[in-house]
A and B are shown apart, each in its own frame.
Chain A
């Protein structure tokens, strides 16, 4: 009888340790992918600023993109650092980044305008940088949100909740923004 009880306790213990390891692994994935996302968003804003500085966009676009890029890269709250990394919805940041996306879309115009800009010797390289940075930011956001969704799902597991396997870590939330600059 006692042996059976010990066996049951051991099995339950193993299951719990295994679950705790999964939660821990996912939390680390959320934190590291969030840091990558932050870095990529800054890179995206910097490349947008560089493109504006070439002076190859029209005067109004130059001002608006430069302002939006500055807001995104410097003024808006960061996604990492600070006390509540995981719980921070990044809502304000998301709005600022979306604004940069919308301004870029308007400034870059349609497919024909883009083709012309790509052929411009001064604008071509900064534009290519922006295209890569925008694509990478999309990837980084997708991968981050994937990690968040997986974490949320696992933390709904009753065992994880009853035994507090997530510790005091706040529930992560996805980062939402309009990131489709070149559609």
Chain B
């Protein structure tokens, strides 16, 4: 296959961890491993330790956009850097992530001369900002030759807010890294003392820690040895106080590293994703499934899709601690069924593996680069004549 020069853009500060940036990093590295030439343009406040393939688009400004704070970049300096990067890059394809977030991607839409691919990550209910901005966004959106959504939820957002359609190519996970991770004996359970894990910000209500804590007492009544392991940033004492639980109700692991996360998913008997909303994909579920933990998730559309409607794991009513307790007890008391779901999950994650996902993205690149394009605009053709 022909080697492509690919330019990737992310709207969010590179030094802030987040789903979109992980996706861009993994995509870049997978494409490079296949011999393609990849450059990334990202806002960044600390230019000293960027990977060699990342160029900074300038410092960021925290803005409130769509109900959360994002650090993005805009302004004249950023515009010039985007234009220079596009010109010097001579890309075969420019791939903009979250193209309607007001940051480098939106600027690049105007300036790009190569075919543009856009990936939409977020899913949201109707947003006032998007409705108001729609007429201003349309001319830019018309320049995107191929739109990708990372989930059905994200695709629905595109269809409802922007019109048109998008192909669904899921987020990727390095399945093998999780599947081959060695378990950590501290986190491995037994039949009498199964380990049940949670991973996420403790103080962010959307992540649903309180839903899980609400189920602890009921689960302990049936299975007194059950161990609850909680990992993530935040104040565990506050969280336990809010839930009315004693300090020793859960084992708090603190904020864990990437390698600890691999070991955690390889060790846990059950992983619970009690998120109550705002999830467009559910990458952490795929990671847990790849690592071999049995998964239990809330009933969000995105999670349901990842779990094949319950074929890969159990599902409980979103936000309902009593229902979560019921499902947890069922999972502990029916180990054969839990094992069957786990085995199915291990094969089902194949479609989320970066190998598969990167191939599909390359198929999209092939479709937009197949046609020879005339980069000259209408006026240039009128005044300079046709070639």
Q: Do A and B bind each other?
A: yes
Near A by CB (< 8 A), chain B positions 353-376 give: 360, 363-364, 366-368, 370-374
* Chain A: minimal CB distance from B75 (Å): 23
Q: Which residues of A contact B366 (CB under 8 A)?
A: 136
Q: Nearest-CB distance from A60 to chain B (Å)? A: 32
- Chain B residues near A20 (CB-CB < 8 A): 378
Main DSSP-derived SS at the A contact region: helix
Shortest Cβ distance from A132 into B: residue: B363
Partner of A32, one of B143, B147, B165, B373: B373
Are the C-beta atoms of A33 and B371 separated by less than 8 Å?
yes
By beta carbon, the residue of chain A nearest B368 is A143
Once bound together, how far apart are the Cα atoms of A142 and B370, in whole Å? Answer: 15
Q: Are B378 and A32 in contact (CB under 8 A)?
A: no
Q: Are B367 and A140 in contact (CB under 8 A)?
A: yes
Contact of A139 among B363, B373, B374, B379 (CB under 8 A): B363
Q: Does B19 have its Cβ within 8 Å of any Cβ on chain A?
A: no
Tier of interface size on chain B: 20 to 34
Question: CA A138 – CA B112 in complex, angstroms?
Answer: 26
Chief secondary structure at chain B's binding surface: mixed
Shortest beta-carbon distance from A145 to chain B in Å: 7
Query: B278 at the A/B interface (Cβ < 8 Å)?
Result: no
- Cβ of A146 < 8 Å from any Cβ of B? yes
Q: Is the CB of B165 within 8 A of A142?
A: yes
Tell me, in angstroms, the Cα distance from A24 to B360 when the chains sit together: 30
Smallest CB–CB gap between A129 and chain B, Å?
A: 13
Task: Out of B146, B164, B373, name the residue touching A28 (CB < 8 Å).
Answer: B373
Within 8 A of A (CB), among B116-172: 138-139, 141-143, 145-147, 163-165, 167
The 8 closest A-B pairs by CB, nearest first: A32-B371, A24-B378, A36-B370, A21-B378, A143-B146, A139-B367, A146-B164, A140-B367
Chain B residues near A (Cβ < 8 Å) = 138-139, 141-143, 145-147, 163-165, 167, 360, 363-364, 366-368, 370-374, 377-379
Using CB atoms and an 8 Å cutoff, list the residues of chain A in contact with chain B: 17-18, 20-22, 24-26, 28-29, 32-33, 35-36, 39-40, 132, 135-136, 138-140, 142-143, 145-147, 149-150, 153-154
Apart from A21-B378, A135-B363: 6 A-B pairs, beta carbons within 8 A: A24-B378, A32-B372, A139-B167, A143-B145, A145-B165, A149-B165
